[in-house]
Chain A
């Protein structure tokens, strides 16, 4: 097998895929304001060249790296934990990720290891990543594909209900110890592949947390594949700081009778863009897609999603809610497409924003495309302020005005997270919301 520049060994198919992605990137133009999908998130001052890729070969001091207390508390109850620092796997503090063959019921390992496995893991990874080469990934998708070197590989096979945590920590290069040759601003391209086998159940959290305010570019991507009747609760938590430029691509694929609850909580960056494509591929597939966010100051968050009901009796329930203050901006574009073959499907979409300042801005762009006649599809959007009656209710119980606002603002977000059935996932995201500082809710004009 050839060795890539980063020092990792890569299979030939991946080398070719990455090469092709790289070639597409060279010729490609970035989306502009004319590109509908990027209408509200300007890339005027963005170029890929501005960021240098972190090259690997830095093993040095990472062994000594300790995760922040809040993070380790959240993942404490997980059965398996994979830690990464600036995209590099940290075996010393990870738990239960020793090998690919450790258990017939599951495999949790760094992606690099799965890629080089001689057994089924590499086939699975290939099955999902190789085919990306043909898809129209857009510039950011290509960037991740061309450059990712590491991430998580999770394959659930058995019936045991497992709690899994994938934690990406990011920090200044200088904290990284020996071999750190790249100067900020740098880019990191983590990639996750989750494969939930037939009839399996799992609870997973994926966290992306920057230790401090660093200027960097995170181009991350995750694929979740649910085989028949798999039941999964998945939480994504993002807190990457004001200076980060974040694009996170998610692709969800659900087979027959598969059930997924997917919940995201994001603290906005500059910007943070989440792009979700959800394919309900077979009859009876059902997804609950929950997104929540907080944005303040000059932060910018852009949630873009496309849900495809490909077959009959599929269900999607989408709730997107956030709190926007300061001169922050929140965008939601939600496409909902019900194909002709998807009779008796049921889809609902709701976007609500709590707007705490007159300088903050919210844009909602629902897009319904219904090609089947016997379906239910509903959508709604609203923008509101804190209710005076709610504030007074709290005050009348002794809670001061500022604390009341903080509680109500957090409550607005927790209303989304509270819909998650898995305690593990819910608590992980909830604890992030509970650490949101008061200025996210004070208006801050």
Chain B
């Protein structure tokens, strides 16, 4: 459902992605690990359509209505409506918009995109309350400004709530585990596991093997200096934990 081919991308004048190739099929969970600054967040933002991240060569294709299309042809909101979801490494605070209003607007935007009827405020509030349980989030967070004053861990939990509400086909989780305490990590990982399905592809970006104990990936990739230098199964993460990146970095 996602096919990245020899992707090169610049951030400003700097080439950050230097030929990434990666395919994700429905139902698969992939993990990307790699040193700080290797381009993991850049890759995730390029897929989501962050403005100013320029693809210089290669391409990112995504399956829409049974056909692979070039994602760069879609505006970021259209990508989201087609089922691409990015849980940000650093979720943005949006004062003045309540979490509930934000989720409602997003949910209805996706409905509109697919020609489905929008959900009323009342019905949606119930729907979200149900979804909040997946990440065991206190419903009071729904009436607060989006991420405003949320702790680091609460923000991450909120990202997974959004994922649960929007039910994307491809979910990219950028270091969702960092900042979570041990209990929260279990809860959030449990939430992600509940959202695992045969139709959904998941890309986990993480620094820690611990997350992969909870969410067992089908594939593990090591990204270094803008390239995937090694791919393997879940045992690769264990090796990495033992040996560090040095063994894999060219």
Binding site for B on A (CB under 8 A): 387-390, 392-401, 403-404, 407-408, 410-415, 418
Q: How distant is B38 from chain A, measured CB to nearest CB, in Å?
A: 22
- B129 interface residue per 8 A CB criterion: no
A393 to B166, CA, bound (A): 14
With A393-B88, A395-B77, A396-B86 in contact, is A411–B166 under 8 Å at CB? no
Closest to B95 in A: A415
Q: How distant is B82 from chain A, measured CB to nearest CB, in Å?
A: 9
- B195 interface residue per 8 A CB criterion: no
- B190 interface residue per 8 A CB criterion: no
Cβ B75 vs Cβ A413 within 8 A: no
A388 to B51, CA, bound (A): 9
Cβ A411 vs Cβ B95 within 8 A: yes
Cβ A400 vs Cβ B77 within 8 A: yes
Q: How distant is B53 from chain A, measured CB to nearest CB, in Å?
A: 11
Closest to A399 in B: B109
Cβ A398 vs Cβ B109 within 8 A: yes
Residues of A within 8 A of B77 (CB): 395-401, 404
Cβ B109 vs Cβ A410 within 8 A: no
A418 to B102, CA, bound (A): 15
Residues of B within 8 A of A401 (CB): 75, 77
A396 to B105, CA, bound (A): 12
Cβ B109 vs Cβ A415 within 8 A: no
Cβ B80 vs Cβ A397 within 8 A: yes
- B71 interface residue per 8 A CB criterion: no
Residues of B within 8 A of A411 (CB): 94-97, 145
Closest to B147 in A: A393
Cβ A415 vs Cβ B102 within 8 A: no
Pick from A388, A397, A404, A411 the residue with the most CB of B within 10 Å: A397
Cβ B92 vs Cβ A415 within 8 A: no
Closest to A434 in B: B101
Cβ A390 vs Cβ B92 within 8 A: yes
- B50 interface residue per 8 A CB criterion: yes
Residues of B within 8 A of A395 (CB): 49, 75-77, 80
Cross-chain contact of B96 among A394, A397, A412 (Cβ < 8 A): A412
Q: How distant is A319 from chain B, measured CB to nearest CB, in Å?
A: 12
> Interface on chain A toward B: helix, strand, loop, or mixed SS?
helix
User: What are 17 A-B pairs at a CB distance below 8 A?
Assistant: A387-B92, A390-B94, A392-B50, A393-B91, A396-B76, A396-B79, A397-B162, A398-B106, A399-B109, A403-B105, A403-B109, A407-B101, A408-B96, A411-B95, A411-B96, A411-B97, A418-B96
Binding site for A on B (CB under 8 A): 48-51, 75-77, 79-81, 85-86, 88, 91-92, 94-97, 101-102, 105-106, 109-110, 113, 145-146, 162, 166
With A398-B106, A399-B106, A400-B109 in contact, is A413–B76 under 8 Å at CB? no
Residues of A within 8 A of B106 (CB): 394, 397-399
A410 to B101, CA, bound (A): 12
Cβ A408 vs Cβ B50 within 8 A: no
Q: Beyond A397-B102, A399-B77, A415-B145, list 12 extra A-B contacts (CB 8 Å).
A: A392-B76, A392-B92, A393-B88, A394-B102, A395-B49, A398-B77, A399-B109, A401-B77, A403-B105, A403-B109, A412-B96, A415-B96
A394 to B109, CA, bound (A): 11
Residues of B within 8 A of A418 (CB): 96, 145
Q: How distant is B64 from chain A, measured CB to nearest CB, in Å?
A: 14
A404 to B96, CA, bound (A): 13
A372 to B81, CA, bound (A): 58
Residues of A within 8 A of B102 (CB): 394, 397, 407
A393 to B106, CA, bound (A): 11
Closest to A416 in B: B96
Closest to A392 in B: B50
With A412-B96, A413-B96, A414-B96 in contact, is A396–B80 under 8 Å at CB? yes
A-B complex: 6 closest residue pairs judged by Cβ atoms: A411-B96, A415-B96, A397-B106, A398-B80, A414-B96, A411-B97
Cβ A408 vs Cβ B97 within 8 A: yes
Residues of B within 8 A of A393 (CB): 88, 91-92, 94, 146
Closest to B91 in A: A393
Q: How distant is A411 from chain B, measured CB to nearest CB, in Å?
A: 3
Pick from A388, A392, A396, A412 the residue with the most CB of B within 10 Å: A396
Residues of B within 8 A of A412 (CB): 95-96
Residues of A within 8 A of B86 (CB): 396
A400 to B109, CA, bound (A): 8
Closest to A409 in B: B96
Residues of B within 8 A of A415 (CB): 95-96, 145
Cβ A398 vs Cβ B81 within 8 A: yes
Residues of B within 8 A of A389 (CB): 92
Residues of A within 8 A of B76 (CB): 392, 395-396
Cβ A399 vs Cβ B92 within 8 A: no
Closest to A411 in B: B96
Closest to B111 in A: A398
Cβ A398 vs Cβ B95 within 8 A: no
Pick from B97, B101, B102 the residue with the most CB of A within 10 Å: B97
A403 to B106, CA, bound (A): 10
Residues of A within 8 A of B94 (CB): 390, 393-394, 408, 411
A411 to B95, CA, bound (A): 6
Residues of A within 8 A of B85 (CB): 396
Cross-chain contact of A397 among B50, B75, B95, B166 (Cβ < 8 A): B166
Q: How distant is A279 from chain B, measured CB to nearest CB, in Å?
A: 31
Q: How distant is A351 from chain B, measured CB to nearest CB, in Å?
A: 16
Residues of A within 8 A of B146 (CB): 393
Q: How distant is B65 from chain A, measured CB to nearest CB, in Å?
A: 17
Closest to A407 in B: B97
Residues of A within 8 A of B75 (CB): 395, 400-401
A410 to B145, CA, bound (A): 13
Q: How distant is B102 from chain A, measured CB to nearest CB, in Å?
A: 7
A394 to B104, CA, bound (A): 12
Closest to A397 in B: B106
With A392-B51, A407-B105, A415-B145 in contact, is A398–B96 under 8 Å at CB? no
Pick from A393, A403, A404, A415 the residue with the most CB of B within 10 Å: A393
Residues of B within 8 A of A394 (CB): 94, 102, 105-106
Residues of B within 8 A of A413 (CB): 96
Q: How distant is B137 from chain A, measured CB to nearest CB, in Å?
A: 17
Residues of A within 8 A of B96 (CB): 408, 410-415, 418
